[in-house]
Amino acid sequence: MDTRLAELLQLLDLERLELNLFRGVSHDIGVPQVFGGQVLGQALVAASRTVEDRLVHSLHAYFLRRGDFDAPIVYQVERTRDGGSFTSRRVVAIQHGQPILTMSSSFQAPEPGSEHQASMPDVPPPEDLADVGELSAKVLEQVPEKVRRFFEHQRPFEFRHVRPPDYRKPEKREPVKHVWFRVVDRLPDDQALHRCLLAYVSDYHLLDTANLPHGQPWFELQMASIDHALWFHRELRMDEWLLYSIDSPSRSGARGFARGSLFTRDGALVASVAQEGLIRERPGGWQGTRPPGAAAQGGAP
């Protein structure tokens, strides 16, 4: 397996301390503090390890504080309910004696039913697009050093924008974004693992969509995730291309709101996402926040 993906799977493989208590570590992906998707993915792993024969179908989380790279994160799971068809769990992520994230999640036993779904947007296939990591050296020279670290980081995901942004001089455009992505190598046939990985990567690309109509350089903004919701509709594979179709209906009160739909290549809608985050306009605002596509862990300061 590709070493980048193996490291991510190891990151999600939490240590069990007690029946409902787990511990995880953090990885530096080139942002100033713990990546919010990491904490979200680890929290879902913790909840999933207390559930048998049911898959997560929804989660709702609040980011409360910034995570510390140098300290472990403890995940405390509350077994809220075990019903005939549905199971509920609540997870608190704790660092230095304080909660940094709370998450509620619901799991369902397999059950058939009637179906319908929204249509997939008509966009070019991923093979016709460049990976976001293929920025030229000339472009990298023109962004701040701390931002450059993010682009130079070797990620376990491929991201291919249908309409690549200009990170140096962004143009004002409609708040809509389409991004193809997948992990860089093959994964085992474990649907719970694929859903935890989707929770991890779903924190990319959402919040900066709310900045597109304003044409502001993201390294002059202070941005951080506040809350995050994710619904799983159908089975999915993270080692096959998924289209992340994102729009932002509103930005106001120093907050941006974005929602996303995730489709397989053949058009199946597998998941939906919604997120609200802090967007403060201040020169040099990226100091202590996040670069494009990677939301910072922690609530608004």
Name the residues annotated as catalytic: 203, 225, 275
Name all domains of the chain by residue range, CATH numbers in brackets.
3-110+127-281 (2.40.160.210)
Q: Beta partners for 154?
A: none
Q: What secondary structure does DSSP assign to 234-249, as a single string? A: S---TTS-EEEEEEEE
Phi/psi for 196 (5° steps) reads: -65, -40
Percent of the chain past pLDDT 90, that is, above it, reads 75
pTM value is 0.91
In angstroms, the CA 60 to CA 274 distance is 9
The CA distances from residue 96 to 23, 72, 148, 299, in Å, are 13, 9, 30, 16
pLDDT tens, N- to C-terminus, the chain (301 residues): 999 999 999 999 999 999 999 999 998 776 667 999 999 999 999 999 999 999 999 999 999 999 998 899 999 999 999 999 999 999 999 999 999 999 999 999 999 999 999 999 999 999 999 887 666 555 666 666 666 666 666 789 999 999 987 777 789 999 999 999 999 999 999 999 999 999 999 999 999 999 999 998 777 888 899 999 999 999 999 999 999 999 999 999 999 999 999 999 999 999 999 999 999 987 655 454 444 455 555 554 4
Residues contacting residue 131 through CB under 8 Å, at least 6 positions apart: 158, 159, 160
**Contact yes or no for 197/181 (Cβ under 8 A):** no
Nearest to 11 by CA among 35, 43, 38, 37: 38
